[in-house]
Amino acid sequence: MFFKMVVSGLGTDTYLNVTTILVGLTTLAVIALYRSTKRPAGAPPGPTPLPILGNVTTFMTKKPVFDVFGELKTKYGPIFSLKFASMNVVVLNTIEVIKEALIKQGVEFAGRPKIQSANIFSEGYKDIALTDYGVQWRYQRKLAHSAVR
């Protein structure tokens, strides 16, 4: 038995097969799930994430977290990427790499993640602790330093 849905438009009745609509929606869902597992261009290597969950299941073992990070370091090197739900995370796993990132390339790593709750809490990222590095942050830092002196 075929199920059909009537959609009226421009004075004529167009019949769409429900199966066609379901196939189309399923195809869009599969494409969205596939795209959610792809790494951004230029991201370091890392384990393949699951759709929706990301790499959360990597840490669902009886091993301590630092052992899991050690295994990932052995497999992917001192810099690797993980995905937790929809957030991409880059892990720096040795002191040399951390020093290079935070001291030699500090401006490149000075940003903050864009989280909706932080946006609401700081009224549009207008807080010195939650705003991204830029002109506004430097001005707020200058004000804070002059107030402390």
DSSP string, 48-92: PPBTTTBTGGGG-SSS-HHHHHHHHHHHH-SEEEEEETTEEEEEE
pLDDT in tens, 25-62: 999 988 888 777 778 888 899 998 888 888 888 888 89
Please tell me which residue, 96 or 133, carries the higher pLDDT value: 96
The answer to whether residues 93 and 80 touch, using CB atoms and an 8 Å cutoff, is yes
pTM, two decimal places? 0.64
Report the 10 Å Cβ neighbour count for 118.
15
Residue 84: partners with Cβ closer than 8 Å, 6 or more residues away: 54, 55, 56
User: How, if at all, do strands 79-84 and 87-92 pair?
Assistant: antiparallel
Cα angle 89, 91, 93 (rounded to 5 degrees) comes to 175
Beta-ladder partners of 16: 5
Spatial distance between the Cα atoms of 59 and 81, rounded to a whole number of angstroms: 14
> What integer pLDDT is reported at residue 72 of this predicted model?
92
Mean pLDDT for the stretch of residues 65-75? 92
Mean pLDDT for the stretch of residues 71-83? 93
> What integer pLDDT is reported at residue 112 of this predicted model?
76
Mean pLDDT for the stretch of residues 59-88? 90
Residue 16 scores a pLDDT above 70? no
Mean pLDDT for the stretch of residues 97-117? 83
pLDDT in tens, 121-135: 878 877 777 777 888
pLDDT in tens, 78-90: 999 999 887 888 9
Confidence of residue 105 (pLDDT cuts 50, 70, 90): confident
Q: Which residue has 């969205």 as its token pair?
A: 32
> What integer pLDDT is reported at residue 30 of this predicted model?
86
111 sits in the region (left: phi over 0; alpha: psi -120 to 50; else beta) called beta
